[in-house]
Amino acid sequence: MTALAIRHAVRGRLTAAAPLAPLIWFKAGGRAETLFEPADTDDLAQFLADDPSVPVMSLGLGSNLIVRDGGVSGVTVRLGKTFAGVLFDGDRIIAGAGAPGIAVASAARDAGLAGLEFLRGIPGTVGGAVRMNAGAYGREVADCLIAATVVRRDGSVVVLTAAEIGFAYRHCGLPRDAVVVEATFRTTPGERAVIAAEMDRIATEREASQPLRSRTGGSTFANPPGHKAWALIDAAGCRGLGRGGAQVSEKHTNFLINTGDATSADLEGLGDEVRARVLAHSGVELRWEIVRVGAA
């Protein structure tokens, strides 16, 4: 267990041994040693500066995450409603890191601003989208992010441009213990009806092709260069493959689902088995897109 050295009065909420499974889309996994829900950016910065030796992990909506059954040591930071605002500055949208992607896309639509429709198809928060360089339907965060406000592990608050963040495919160069608190996106004026139609198309396509009503974690593996992960998985005979309470989705093979009583060990073990089968069948090594954290 980690002993927190807190010198400043915390205005947010601190919870010891907090269950994380209810906060994760898979509904599986262990506890956070300490869950911190800061009141605002200053509260977060002061808290992080108090004891830089304690491990820190950010948690958004838990839509692309496996928390291992042994739980997460140190501090898990979860940003609440204070960090979920969406503001406008001309053609720029300034969104709190706790805002769901769909909320940002909808706000842009209502303001007649185009370019963020793809966020309708990404389950998660703005902070998670920045950290993962999330993308879908031909666009990704790196295409439209101007800058992000980040609280570093030492408590310093910095504004980093997209170039400084260092984006790659489903990846960014931020340290794991840095916390994104705000992002500024570039948009262009557009017709509301056209923007709305594109968002509706994305929603319909997702509903038809993905197991959205299951306990899942989104795309499990990144697409290797020149390949689609789902096709490699399907060709390796993994559709419907199971382990314990975990299963490869019959509807979309790049999704794992918790059929009801899966442990995180079931989910991660199944994912590793899929990787091994794909490697043996096609010679292609799949890279996890889902983030896996904590102790087994």
Sequence spans of domains, the chain: 13-81, 83-208, 211-293
Q: Where are the alpha helices (DSSP H) in 126-250?
A: 126-132, 141-144, 162-165, 192-209, 229-235
- Catalytic, 287? Answer no
Q: Cβ distance 221 to 229 under 8 Å?
A: yes
> What is the CATH T-level fold of the domain 211-293, as seen in this structure?
3.90.78
How do residues 91-124 score in pLDDT, each as one tens digit?
A: 999 999 999 999 999 999 999 999 999 999 988 9
**Distant-in-sequence contacts of 13-16, Cβ < 8 A, 24+ apart:** 13/37
- Catalytic, 219? Answer yes
CATH 3.30.43.10 fits 13-81, yes or no: yes
Pick the catalytic residue from 58, 219, 249, 264.
219
Pick the catalytic residue from 31, 78, 131, 170.
170
**Low pLDDT (below 70) residues in the chain:** 1-3, 5
pLDDT at res. 57? 95
Gap between the Cα atoms of 163 and 152, Å rounded: 17
Instruction: Give the end-to-end CA distance of the chain in Å, rounded to a whole number.
Output: 16
pLDDT at res. 183? 98
Q: Which two tokens stand for residue 208?
A: 């038809």
* 57: three-class secondary structure by DSSP: strand
Gap between the Cα atoms of 293 and 54, Å rounded: 15
* 243: three-class secondary structure by DSSP: strand
- Catalytic, 275? Answer no
Pick the catalytic residue from 117, 182, 268, 289.
289
Q: Class of the 83-208 domain?
A: alpha beta
How do residues 229-256 score in pLDDT, each as one tens digit?
A: 999 999 999 999 999 999 999 999 999 9
pLDDT at res. 275? 98
Residues making up the chain, counted from first to last: 296
Beta bridge partners of 159: 149
| Residue 55: count of CB within 10 angstroms of its CB | 15
